[in-house]
């Protein structure tokens, strides 16, 4: 049952790519995702895959390569980070609106400036409205598992998908990992058989048409439906993956939430640190829990509202800032989810944390829970827009 290994997160994603053997990779290096195309190019050179490896001159071109290849009928992949993802932005929107299920591995990193190469979620959150599916991993294992599920999800709904992990924290740290056997991966992921593709000589086709105002909005509404439909697909593929590996995935992961009175919402590797903080506080009798958001796009609004409806206080943890003088994206979308569900009892606060690689310690999370205890006791949130672990 599975193959025991020790891999970094980047290596794990590159290994998943090798097992899938996609048709085309548009590759351009940027820290901390550089290792992904680097490892993969070795597989190409060794003949372990027959992928067309296209080394391009920029991330804009990397995504353009993927768009052309995917439209032609291929499985296309890329990997990037930080300003590389920013530079792809124009083409990310094209990929999504052309309904091309490209798979992009993102090792999340801060944006300039000040120039910084360490982890936060500013890059991924900056393109959160580009129309891509976005899954986030807590561990190397999850980065690998999410990647194996990515194409099944994206191709089912006709949307591109980002598989995000935390730069350096998981991308470069080596962890124990359980790999899936090659033949099982091949059977699970399957072959890509698009209904329509440019290289089909029996069906002339044009991709990337101009849409006047009488058509544009219908096209966008249909695109929105694909994102809505993706929720069931993510659950279904996550359940099927669980049958194969014993590791089942959904849109969110609830940790100690059954009787929780205070809860965190968190994305990525810091969820692991936060679970340790929850464990320690539980031994002291505190009713605390956390919700890890695996799928940020689509946003699991109903699931989060349901999970939070009985808590007294929650903290949304944003590893980036929207610089709106108000709150980060997880708080904004969580508050909207609660409001839409008619739930107003839980008091919410927002922490901006871990920017540019600022270490997130168990004590950091314990501080958040200490603040939540006060909020729960008094019913007063005070300032909701807060920075964690900043010197003042």
Partner 1 sequence: MSHLAKDMTPDVKWQDITPGCNIFEGGTSAVVETGDWRTMKPVLDWDKCRQCLLCAPVCPDMSIPVGADGKRQDFNYFFCKGCGICANACPFGAITMVKDEK
Q: How far is the CB of 98 from partner 1 (least distance, A)?
A: 4
Query: Per CB under 8 A, does 325 bind partner 1?
Result: no
340 touches 306 (CB < 8 A): no
32 touches 107 (CB < 8 A): yes
Binding mask 341-360 for partner 1 (x = CB under 8 A): --------------------
**CA atoms of 243 and 224, how far apart (whole Å):** 30
Give the contacts of 140 (CB within 8 A, at least 6 positions apart). 7, 8, 9, 12, 165, 170, 173, 174, 175, 177
Site stretch for partner 1 (CB under 8 A), options 51-59, 137-145, 221-229, 233-241:
221-229
Give the contacts of 310 (CB within 8 A, at least 6 positions apart). 260
CB closer to partner 1 out of 56 and 207: 207
Q: How far is the CB of 324 from partner 1 (least distance, A)?
A: 31
Interface residue with partner 1 among 19, 80, 82, 97 (CB under 8 A) is 97
**CA atoms of 8 and 15, how far apart (whole Å):** 10
Q: How far is the CB of 124 from partner 1 (least distance, A)?
A: 23
Structure tokens at 43: 């597989």
Distance in Å from the first CA to the final CA of the chain: 51
In the DSSP assignment, the letter for residue 3 is E
CB closer to partner 1 out of 194 and 289: 194
Q: How far is the CB of 222 from partner 1 (least distance, A)?
A: 5
**CA atoms of 359 and 123, how far apart (whole Å):** 18
**Spatial CA neighbour of 142 closest among 34, 286, 9:** 9
User: Using a CB cutoff of 8 Å and minimum separation of 24, what contacts does 328-337 make?
Assistant: 328/125, 328/352, 329/125, 329/128, 330/265, 330/266, 330/267, 330/293, 331/384, 333/299, 333/301, 334/265, 334/304, 334/308, 336/301, 337/299, 337/301, 337/302, 337/304, 337/305
35 touches 169 (CB < 8 A): no
Query: Per CB under 8 A, does 1 bind partner 1?
Result: no
Q: How far is the CB of 226 from partner 1 (least distance, A)?
A: 8
Q: How far is the CB of 96 from partner 1 (least distance, A)?
A: 9
Footprint of partner 1 on residues 181-210 (CB under 8 A)?
Answer: 196, 203-210
Provide the b/e sequence for 157-171 (b: ≥16 CB within 10 Å). bbbbbbbbbbbbbbb
CB closer to partner 1 out of 215 and 339: 215
CB closer to partner 1 out of 198 and 335: 198
Query: Per CB under 8 A, does 236 bind partner 1?
Result: no
Q: How many residues bind partner 1 (CB under 8 A)?
A: 23
Query: Per CB under 8 A, does 99 bind partner 1?
Result: yes
CB closer to partner 1 out of 177 and 226: 226
Interface residue with partner 1 among 48, 90, 218, 302 (CB under 8 A) is 218
CB closer to partner 1 out of 124 and 230: 230
Footprint of partner 1 on residues 103-162 (CB under 8 A)?
Answer: 158
CB closer to partner 1 out of 6 and 196: 196
CB closer to partner 1 out of 211 and 370: 211
Instruction: List residues binding partner 1 (CB under 8 A).
Output: 97-100, 158, 196, 203-211, 214-215, 217-219, 221-222, 225
């Amino acid at each position: 049952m599975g193959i025991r290994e020790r891999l970094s997160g980047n290596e794990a994603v590159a290994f998943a790519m090798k097992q899938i053997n996609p048709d085309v990779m548009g590759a351009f290096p940027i820290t901390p995702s550089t290792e992904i195309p680097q490892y993969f190019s070795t597989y190409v050179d060794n003949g372990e895959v027959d992928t067309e490896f296209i080394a391009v001159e920029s991330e804009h071109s990397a995504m353009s390569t993927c768009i052309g290849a995917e439209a032609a009928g291929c499985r296309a992949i890329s990997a990037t980070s930080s300003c590389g993802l920013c530079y792809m932005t124009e083409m990310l929107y094209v990929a999504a609106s052309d309904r091309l299920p490209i798979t992009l591995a993102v090792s999340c990193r801060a944006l300039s400036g000040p120039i910084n190469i360490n982890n936060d979620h500013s890059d991924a959150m900056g393109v959160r409205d580009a129309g891509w599916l976005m899954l986030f991993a807590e561990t190397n294992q999850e980065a690998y598992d999410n990647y194996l599920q990515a194409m099944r999800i994206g191709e089912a709904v006709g949307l591109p998908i980002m598989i995000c992990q935390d730069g350096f924290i998981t991308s470069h740290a080596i962890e124990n990992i359980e790999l899936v056997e090659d033949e099982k991966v091949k059977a699970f992921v399957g072959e890509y058989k698009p209904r329509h593709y440019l290289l089909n000589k029996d069906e002339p086709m044009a991709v990337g048409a101009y849409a006047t105002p009488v058509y544009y909005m219908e096209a966008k509404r249909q695109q929105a439906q694909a994102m809505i439909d993706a929720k069931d697909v993510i659950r279904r593929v996550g359940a099927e993956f669980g049958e194969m590996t014993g590791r089942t995935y959904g849109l969110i992961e609830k940790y100690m939430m059954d009787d929780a009175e205070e809860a965190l919402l968190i994305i990525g590797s810091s969820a692991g640190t936060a679970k340790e903080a929850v464990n320690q506080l539980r031994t002291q009798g505190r009713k605390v829990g956390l919700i890890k958001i695996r799928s940020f796009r689509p946003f699991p609004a109903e699931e989060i509202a349901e999970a939070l409806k009985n808590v007294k206080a929650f903290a949304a943890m944003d590893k980036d800032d929207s610089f709106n003088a108000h709150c980060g994206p997880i708080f904004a979308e969580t508050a909207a989810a609660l409001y839409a569900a008619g739930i107003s009892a839980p008091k919410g606060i927002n922490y901006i944390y871990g920017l540019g690689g600022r270490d997130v310690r168990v004590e950091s999370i314990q501080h958040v829970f200490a603040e939540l205890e006060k909020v729960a006791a008094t019913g007063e949130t005070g300032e909701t827009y807060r920075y964690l672990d900043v010197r003042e």
